[in-house]
Amino acid sequence: MKGVVAVIFDWILGMFSLDMGIDLGTCNTLVCVKGQGIVLNEPSVVAVKKGTNRVLQNGNAVGLVAKEMLGKTPGSISAIRPMKDGVISDFEVTEAMLSYFIRRVHGRKHFIGPRVVIAIPSGITAVEKRAVLDSAERAGARRVFLVEEPMAAAIGAGLPVTEPTASMIVDVGGGTTEVAIISLADISVCESVRVAGDDFDEAIINHMKKTYNMAIGEQMAERIKIEIGSAAPVWSDGEPTMDVRGRDMISGLPRKTAITAGEIREALQEPITQIIEAVTRTLELAEPELAADLVENGITMAGGSSLLRGLCNVISNATGLEVRVAEDPLTCVARGTSVYLDNLELWKDTMESDADGS
């Protein structure tokens, strides 16, 4: 009887709150609301007063405002990315960031905290899961449910995850690459490696140091990756070049130099190889029947870093399977969480939630 009352009470509370799905990413956080789709897409960056966890501008220096400060802050301010490799590296700052995003989306209209579905990497530990649950609760969520990222990405990409056939998703984000084979609404085999878009940026930064004695920031590295980065030769009319500005490590003075797409491709080979190895390892562990399905169904790629030119081609060459990028790969995980929101009553018993540990 107690359980029935609790369910009815939760349903009544649900009528007065705005349930939301959150893709808590290393680079970007996306929030979607039931019935409205994605309502927020901002960088996972917070600006705080140096030496404290006090968020500037009355708790509003989060997201785009804070990203513009990355690498350019004076001594009294720190611009922090509180998520590293897909997990929380700074608990208090993540809580402040989540609190800001929930406040922005939920607004003051709704006086009851929302139920929140959060996508998490499949390879994280119980302690890391607990940190996500706790920070979301303290940020104002009424109930928190966790869903594994590859599952959310596959649903968001429109794969037939509930059918008795293999669907393979490779979700290359900012901090982690999630590779999973899904059948009958569950993950059959999965691999989570902490190599993704951030490692592409890191490889470019190291290349500029080694080859040109030039120090560049994260934002410049990201621009290079987006403008001329590639995993395989894709340009038919010659490799493009780009002017890069940074600090000369010998003279200490600002300077610029021209680089080519070919050398950046060479610099990116190591992280790309690690991603390909994760994909082939997952395929080797697949059941023969599921492997047979994949010959027909191929591999679907999601996540912002799957947009790196030629990445599909190199994975296709390594596996012999057809590889395609999902429609709007950046938002796949968030769209998947919104499907979970729509079916929360049906699926909530299959998801980990804050009620499990209490």
Six token digits for residue 177: 């690459």
Location of each CATH 3.30.420.40 domain in the chain: 16-43+85-152+333-353, 159-195+271-329
| 197-269: CATH architecture | Alpha-Beta Complex (3.90)
Place of tokens 């649903």: 155
Beta strands in 51-134 (DSSP E): 77-80, 83-84, 87-88, 115-120
Give the sign of the dihedral formed by CA 103, CA 145, CA 336, CA 178.
positive
Residue 346 pLDDT:
80
Location of each CATH 3.90.640.10 domain in the chain: 197-269
Residue 282 pLDDT:
97
By C-alpha distance, which of 22, 27, 53 is closest to 141? 22
Place of tokens 């989540």: 98
CATH fold label, 159-195+271-329: Nucleotidyltransferase; domain 5 (3.30.420)
By C-alpha distance, which of 19, 23, 20 is closest to 121? 23
- The span from the CA of 222 to the CA of 200, in Å, is 8
Q: What is the DSSP string of 137-191?
A: HHTT-SEEEEEEHHHHHHHHTT--TTSSS-EEEEEE-SS-EEEEEEETTEEEEEE
| 16-43+85-152+333-353: CATH architecture | 2-Layer Sandwich (3.30)
In contact, 203 and 188? CB cutoff 8 Å: no
Per-residue pLDDT of the chain (358 residues; tens, 9 = 90+): 555 555 554 555 555 568 899 999 999 999 999 888 899 999 999 999 988 888 988 888 999 989 888 888 788 888 889 999 888 898 899 999 998 998 888 875 556 788 999 999 988 889 999 999 999 999 888 899 999 999 999 999 999 999 999 999 999 999 999 999 999 989 999 999 999 999 999 999 999 999 999 999 999 999 999 999 999 999 888 889 999 999 999 999 999 999 999 999 999 999 999 999 999 999 999 999 999 999 999 999 999 999 999 999 999 999 999 999 999 999 999 999 999 988 888 877 777 887 665 4
Alpha-carbon Rg for the chain, nearest whole angstrom, is 21
Residue type present at position 121: P
Six token digits for residue 44: 């996972």
- Residue 101, H or E segment: helix 91-106
